[in-house]
Amino acid sequence: MIAGKPNVLVAGAGVAGSLLARELAREGFSVALIDVATSYRKACGDAVALREGLLGLLERLGVVVTLVNSFEIRIHGDVVYEESFSKPKWAIVDKPGLVASLREEAEAEEALFLRGMWKSQRGTVTVDARGPYANKPESRVFVYRVISKARWDPGKALLDFDLKSRGFYWIFPADDDGKTVNIGAGFETVDAATYLREMVKNYSYKLLGTFEPLDERGAPVTVKGPIVTREGDILKVGEAAGLVVSTAGEGNRPAILSAMSLAKAINSSYPNLREIEERYRSGISRVISEVLVSRKLLEVIEKAGPARGKTLMKSLPESFWRLYLGSAVTTRHVVLTMLRRPITGLRLIRSLLSSLA
Ligand SMILES: Cc1cc2nc3c(=O)[nH]c(=O)nc-3n(C[C@H](O)[C@H](O)[C@H](O)COP(=O)(O)OP(=O)(O)OC[C@H]3O[C@@H](n4cnc5c(N)ncnc54)[C@H](O)[C@@H]3O)c2cc1C
């Protein structure tokens, strides 16, 4: 029970919810944070794209496991792009540690943490931060990940797209000394955990020559559907708002950035919901553009079918993959990049432009 109505009630204490609660409690708001789980253990690839100065925040919280600057992109096993950047593009983080630190800091600022299922209780302002669980099942894909013993470059990430199953495998480092990996996969056509696990296991044997799980679990991720930042009197943040870059399953950075933007908007426009939402959206306009483009790209590739989709993806220029890994695939960037490859890009550009109309 919440004694008295809090200024802000946040449903879901994952990355977005905990960070939002911390930021608002710091500003003196009375904040209540509700989560079904006492500790955060949701499956993740644990990668955070290092844009917008996020490394500083992660380092301050002491959750950086290793930095990734080397990438390999494959399509049906064929290497289409390889690059080592002079600066890291991603951090692999201790995600449960990240959420625990944010929750602790929120509580230290006197945010009230309540364990339990959100049952539509309200604050003066209410925020849905329930991640994928806030979204319709048809907008989600089930994803499975395994932490496994294996030799692997701790600075390298691999993504392998499968156009037939409509998704990808990944291998990310899980430590900084090259002894464990985070290996996983998610496909639109596969929702049975046991089957997906078998696919990950086979992939692990094929690529790494071993499969020695230390921890394994699955969870859904939102890859379809609209971006919804407010539903009636409830504001939405992070993955609950649909903020996942679908082509990469990237939701950590959007969760952090949207929580920061919403905290600022609430702080400056409380309790005017319309004004809060406007400020909030304008603070994340770039993330919104990335997510919309990723949804469109996914649609275009799916419409093309496995064979043409594969050809289309294989013909993407290196500059596209650079933007992709740097989390910079906004509409403007894609159009500019594709204009340099008129034949392969024509279809994509037409479709993207029509999505902007
Ligand atoms: C297997 C897998 C791998 C992934 N890999 C990556 C990756 O490498 N990089 C990346 O950027 N993204 C990745 N993602 C996506 C990323 O994990 C999410 O998008 C991100 O965690 C979203 O953060 P969030 O705070 O919005 O939601 P979440 O982290 O999902 O937090 C939601 C919180 O709400 C709570 N909750 C849910 N329902 C209720 C309820 N009814 N009442 C109260 N509390 C509730 C949950 O317990 C949870 O604590 C991956 C996702 C999966 C499933």
Question: Which residue, 104, 98, 12, is CA-closest to 59?
Answer: 98
Minimum-distance ligand 1 atom for the alpha carbon of 258: 26
Residue 3 CA, chain-centre distance (Å), reads 34
pLDDT in tens, the chain (357 residues): 567 899 999 999 999 999 999 999 999 999 999 999 999 999 999 999 998 789 999 999 999 999 999 999 999 999 999 999 999 999 999 999 999 999 999 999 999 999 999 999 999 999 999 999 999 999 999 999 999 999 999 999 999 999 999 999 999 999 999 999 999 999 999 989 999 999 999 999 999 999 999 999 999 999 999 999 999 999 999 999 999 999 999 999 999 999 999 999 999 999 999 999 999 999 999 999 999 999 988 888 888 889 988 888 888 888 888 888 887 777 776 666 666 655 555 555 555 545 444
What pLDDT does 199 receive? 98
| Atom 49 of ligand 1, nearest CA residue | 14
| 290 Cβ inside 6 Å of ligand 1 | no
Q: Which domains does the chain have, with CATH numbers?
A: 8-41+94-135+225-283 (3.50.50.60), 66-93+136-224 (3.30.9.10), 297-356 (no CATH)
Minimum-distance ligand 1 atom for the alpha carbon of 243: 19
CA–CA separation, 353 and 213 (whole Å): 45
| Atom 38 of ligand 1, nearest CA residue | 130
DSSP character at residue 111: P
CA–CA separation, 204 and 158 (whole Å): 12
| 45 Cβ inside 6 Å of ligand 1 | yes
With left for phi above 0 and alpha for psi between -120 and 50, is residue 53 left, alpha or beta? left
Question: Which residue, 163, 162, 161, 160, is CA-closest to 306?
Answer: 163
| 102 Cβ inside 6 Å of ligand 1 | no
Name the residue of 239, 258, 284 whose CB sits within 8 Å of the most ligand 1 atoms, as the mutation to test its pocket.
239
Query: What is the pTM for the complete model shown?
Result: 0.94
| 219 Cβ inside 6 Å of ligand 1 | yes
Minimum-distance ligand 1 atom for the alpha carbon of 12: 34
| Atom 8 of ligand 1, nearest CA residue | 45
